Structure 1
Amino acid sequence: MLPLTLIFLSSWALICNAGSANKGENCTQSDNRLQAGTFQFFDDCNSVTYCAANGTCLLKGCRKDEFPFGYVVGAHVPDLCPLGEFCPDEADACQTLLPVGSACQLNRDDECEAPPNFADLRDTTNRGLNFNGSICLNNLCLWANKTANDDCTVENTAYIAYGEAGEFIDIVSRGDCVVGLYCDSSTKKCLAEKALGAACTADKECSSWNCLSSGTCGVDTTLPKHVGTGVYVAVAVGIFGGIFGTLLGLFLLHRRQRDTEREKRMQYWREQNAFHQNLLQMRQTARASILSLPNNGNSARSTMYGRDGMPSDEAPILQHAAPKASGLRHYMADDSSEYDEGMMMQPVRDDNRF
């Protein structure tokens, strides 16, 4: 199975290293090859065509991927091959599965015919150990049916990969042993996979398929990580603590704001009350000044007070008081001022004067 980095490089190479010749343009089949480092198939034609025997690029007649590269929206995509057939790297047309011992293309286990007991031999770990119990090693179709201590066939392929430290060589080693065994490169024998913590030299030796740089088998990187109960408790406490802490902080903040607004309203009320008291004091001062005038205030100006000298602002306010005009007529009728009586007299119109 190719590492994720190599799979990415292979997919990228399919786009970047594809030829540029379009449909109907000239090509040369002798240029067909596997790219160095990625081992991606390359020809002179673009990603939607293949180089035919007549030296021209034609549209591909099949595909091996569910979602192939290079096709625009709305373009015709060739069909997948039916059961019992495969689509080669050239993608010219579907072909019949190859029997054991036939020539096959690199890493194309799906080109080989499955053994009768493929259900027992096929890889169920999704590690790419074989395809339905068949495997392509050294460009030959084999069955992955070798058991413990049997002679086996091994294939080592060096891929160019890239990491944080730059470019490096990643060797992928494959064999035709049954699942749970690996083909030892030195003895060419099928050996049992090693347990966690055992010494190893390659990923294929470990049951976890993870040989650490320290030379021991590590945990399976594809398995989900499990944490202790204490971690869940700490996370739960942190979540609820954060929620209640936020609510408490908001409560204290809003209470401080409410206290501030309440203080502003109290200050406003005190200012308005002091202003009202000042107005009452000014009225008392004005009344005292008027009463201190000659005639003891019994002039026409005294009509602003009641008959008994009580100021109008101290007179009781009735809920259903008479209209304002009626009150004025009342005061004017009671006033003994001749000026006011003269003002109330209406002139008699004499039409003979005009």
Structure 2
Amino acid sequence: MRFLPFTLFLFSSYSLVKAGTLNKGDSCNIGDNRLQAGTYQFWSECNSQTYCGSSGKCETRGCRKDDFPFGYAPDDKLPEKCPKGQFCPDEEDQCQQIQPVGSDCQLNRDDQCEGPPNFKELADTSGRGLNVNGSVCLNSKCMWANATLGVACIVENTPYTAYGVDGEFIDIVSRGNCQLGLYCDAAQKVCMAEKLFGEACTADKECSSWNCLGSGVCGVSESIPHHFAIWVYIVVGLGIFGGMFGTLFGLYWTHRKQRDEEREKRMQYWREQNAFHQNLLAMRETARASILSLPGNGNSSARSTLYSRDGAFSDDVSAPILPNAAPKVSGLRHYLADDGSSEFDDGLMMQSGKKVDGRF
């Protein structure tokens, strides 16, 4: 059994319980107002913006106790908060004057009680919710948290329903009227000094750190920031650097592999194109050789009777021109001359526009 401050369970009160459904002007029963079991959140038949009045009708709330009350839209007009010296009850009907010691108060509403004259010395400023301005509401009665060491004290144990990984379980919040630095022992009902780090404990309230470990000893406060050794920062830094370097190296290796694959594809394409080009050259040489081997394309051709070796026009003009003789320049010879290659035979074509003995 553990004794935890009430503030740890506020989350369950807002998430597990919903307000009523009646709207303003609807009939309601004030006798149905209650604190829900397990969460102890105030509930009535009226919705979150109204309360059940003494007339039996839902009426608009006249005050609020929270800065951001539940059930209001962002553009809704919120009720006013109560000024200093007053409080807004759970019903949130209207502001009321704070109550003196011994007056009735609502559960965990320490703010409804009037503080002692030395409230500055008794007030809890740690945020643990031990009291409000040195006053505390225990067992529905207002009192001051001024009980000293070894003096009889009053304790209030309230079981709350909590939810964890293993499901639902009960946590008990134990509160007393002892001064700061003391706690009210539930068995002996006397104020005892809070225990230091490493001492045996049974509840968080017994430890000055308010952290009783599962091993049964007081641990360090959970609000204290954790400090790590230098080597931890070094290891984390090396891990971050290693991760960045590994990522960059992996990207470089991947892109390099892709570039090698693309380069190999281009080389394969170039080799294929080069082989194709060589085949075309071989075919052209074969065709050229075949043309030269045809009858009439030797030295006894008509060209050799008309031109001398030095390009001059031959005096032998008596050679007859046979009807079936090949033309001086064939279409194939024009094709070979027009391909821009220097590998053709100059003896197979006539150069157009060249003077021969003053004639074209």
TM range (shorter): 0.7 to 0.9
The one-letter code matched in structure 1 to 2:25 is: G
- Contact 1:14/1:47 (CA < 8 Å) preserved in 2? no
Q: Secondary structure at the match of 2:156?
A: strand
Provide closer, same or farther for how the CA distance between residues 210 and 254 of structure 1 changes in structure 2, counting only shifts above 3 A: same
| Residues in 1 aligned to 2:278 and 2:119: alpha-carbon distance in whole angstroms | 105
Matched pairs, number: 318
Mapped partners of 1:283, 1:36: distance in 2: 103
C-alpha displacement of 1:258: 2.2
1:50/1:57 contact within 8 Å kept: yes
Map of 1:330 onto structure 2: 353
Structure 1 residue 300 corresponds to structure 2 residue 335: no
Residue 258 of structure 2 aligns to a residue whose secondary structure is helix
2: CA distance between counterparts of 1:266 and 1:166?
A: 67
Identify the match of residue 8 of structure 1 among 8, 11, 19.
11
Q: Please say which of residues 107-116 and 292-301 is displaced more in the overlay.
A: 292-301
In structure 2, the CA distance between the partners of 1:273 and 1:127, relative to structure 1 (3 Å rule), is: same
| Aligned match of 1:191 | 192
For residues 161-310 of structure 1, the aligned pairs below 5 Å read: 161-297=162-298, 298=301, 299-300=326-327, 302=329
Q: Call closer, same or farther: CA 1:210–1:292 in 2, change over 3 Å.
A: same
**3-state SS in 1 of match to 2:10:** helix
Cα contact 1:305–1:312 (8 A) shared by 2 = no
Change (3 A) 1:302 1:312: farther
Q: Which runs of 5+ in 2 are unaligned?
A: 302-325, 345-349
Distance 2:32 2:108 in 1: 20
TM-score, normalised via structure 1 length: 0.80
Letter of the 1:300 counterpart: P
* Structure 1 residues 73-123: Cα deviation after superposition (integer angstroms, max 9, x where no partner): 433321111111100111110011112222211100111122233233221
Deviations 1:49-81 (A, max 9, x none): 112222222111001011112223433321111
Verify the 8 A CA contact 1:122 1:132 in the aligned structure 2: yes
Q: 8 Å contact 2:86–2:97 — kept in the other structure? A: yes
Structure 2: which amino acid aligns with 1:237?
Answer: L
Q: d(CA) in 2 for partners of 1:229 and 1:211?
A: 29
Pair 12,255 (structure 1): closer, same or farther in 2 beyond 3 Å = closer
- Structure having the higher helix fraction is 1
Partner Cα distance (2:208, 2:160) in 1: 23
Counterparts of residues 139-158 of structure 1 (less than 5 Å): 139-158=140-159
| 1:37-76 → structure 2 map (5 Å cutoff) | 37-76=38-77
Q: What residue in structure 2 maps to residue 160 of structure 1?
A: 161
> Whole-Å Cα distance in 1 between the matches of residues 287 and 272 of structure 2?
23
For the residue of structure 1 that corresponds to 2:297, the secondary structure is: helix
TM-score scaled by length of structure 2: 0.79
Q: Which residue of 2 aligns with 1:136?
A: 137
Quick one: which of 329, 341, 353 aligns to 1:313? 341
Work out the percentage of aligned pairs sharing the same amino acid.
59
Q: Indicate if the aligned counterparts of 2:7 and 2:128 stay in contact, CA closer than 8 A.
A: no
Q: What letter matches 2:138 in structure 1?
A: L
> Equivalent residues in 2 for 1:95-106 (5 A)?
95-106=96-107
Give the number of the structure with larger relative contact order, counting CA–CA contacts within 8 Å between residues 6 or more apart.
Answer: 2
Q: 3-state SS of the aligned residue for 2:353?
A: helix
How far 1:13 sits from its partner (Å)? 4.9
Q: Is the 8 A contact 1:13 1:40 kept in 2?
A: no
1:36 alignment partner AA: A
How far apart, in 1, do the equivalents of 2:37 and 2:284 lie?
108
Q: Aligned-pair distance for 1:197?
A: 2.2
